[in-house]
Amino acid sequence: MSVNEMTAKEVTKKVLNKEQLFILDVRNESDFIDWKIEGANFEYLNVPYFDLLDGVEGILDKIPSNKEVLVVCAKEGSSIMVAEMLSDAGLAVSYFKGGMKAWSEYLEPVKVGDLTNGGHVYQFVRIGKGCLSYMIVSNGEAAIIDATRMTDIYLDFANRMGVKITHVFDTHLHADHISGGRNISQATNATYWLPPKDATEVTFKYQPLEQGTVVNIGHTTIEIQAIYSPGHTIGSTSFEIDGKYLLTGDILFIDSIGRPDLAGLAEDWVVDLRETLYERYRELSDDLIVLPAHFMNIAELNEDGTVSEKLAKLFIENHGLNITDEAEFRRAVTGNLPPQPNSYREIRETNMGKTYPDEETQREMEIGPNRCAVR
């Protein structure tokens, strides 16, 4: 029997459609526990590749014959070998093309909604990493917010849409992934914006993104209004777009809030975090649709594949927005911080322009789940 390959795009479709899939993950147990392909109706079996070198006979009775079976490893090679052994044993299986590295890098563009005077908002869902980036399109122009390092995806999408990228923003200096903002700016001659309080050590030129900055996209007035919202970083900046959408960066998520400790200043920044969440955001319209820069798990995805929710609903349901006592809030935040993101210091240095790792090193730096939220 032949061994098929399954791509990240195909697996993403199964995630969004809540299809069934049986995954045999042949990475080490610690890697599997830390980070795996998530699906609402996925089943898993984790058996390290080295335990299968002498054959797959010991696991044949654990693999269903009535479901699609996908073999997953870190880079692809081990999954091909295991899939071939299972195929030789009479099972119909696929291997995951590109392995978990491909899962980390895949982006799925999803339309969020329309703008008042024409134009659209698109969300780029980095399904395996939980990163969310955005493209705002109006009258032949586009702005990109919180781009990943996979810049070709944004450039190709803009070309297909027939729009020119004129502005690129980062809501803050990222520590969990390498920004593609500067590279897109250089490729398109777009203006690159960065909060100056996060840019004190950067080595490149940028346009300072500050409270009250208004950028118009296209010939219609689609305002991107900057709102200073520190807490995840000292320079974190949100965007109100078209009076309809609130891009919160890594400050507010659907089921959690941002962590304040990635620069080693949790005790100081937790005060800023509370002020942003409990004062600045409370002054905004409850009808704004929150579009965060990350999601924590696939349960946060809507039926259409987007990650979004009205601010009014989050004020009711998000626990991080409902801790009335300030001391309790401090304890809840600083006492529930997850492990630091992989290579976060090196990622910050890269995003400052201080280091220029090669592509393979960048991949290795980003491997693993995002850890930008308070648990």
DSSP character at residue 279: I
Rg (C-alpha) for the chain, rounded Å, is 21
Q: Are 155 and 188 in contact (CB under 8 A)?
A: yes
How far apart are alpha carbons 140 and 351 in whole angstroms? Answer: 29
Q: Which segments within 87-181 are labelled E, that is strand?
A: 94-96, 108-114, 120-126, 131-138, 141-145, 164-169
* Structure token digits, residue 112: 């969020």
Which long-range CB contacts under 8 A does 295-300 form with residues at least 24 apart? 295/130, 295/132, 295/253, 295/254, 296/130, 296/253, 296/254, 296/255, 296/256, 296/370, 296/373, 297/38, 297/130, 297/255, 298/15, 298/38, 298/39, 298/40, 298/127, 299/40, 299/255, 300/253, 300/254, 300/255
Known catalytic membership, residue 131: no
Distance (Å, whole) CA 219 – CA 9 = 34
SS3 label, residue 263: coil
Exactly one of 73, 83, 144, 209 is catalytic; name it: 73
Q: What residues have CB less than 8 Å from 6, skipping those under 6 apart? A: 70, 94, 95, 96, 97
Sign of the dihedral defined by the CA atoms of residues 152, 153, 159, 162, in that order:
negative
Give the whole-angstrom CA distance, residue 78 versus residue 70: 12
β-strands 289-292, 309-310: how paired? antiparallel
Q: What is the dihedral of CA 345, 346, 352, 357, to 10 degrees?
A: 180
Helix (H) or strand (E) holding 226: strand 223-228
CA trace torsion 185, 107, 224, 161 (10° rounding)? 80
Active site residues: 73
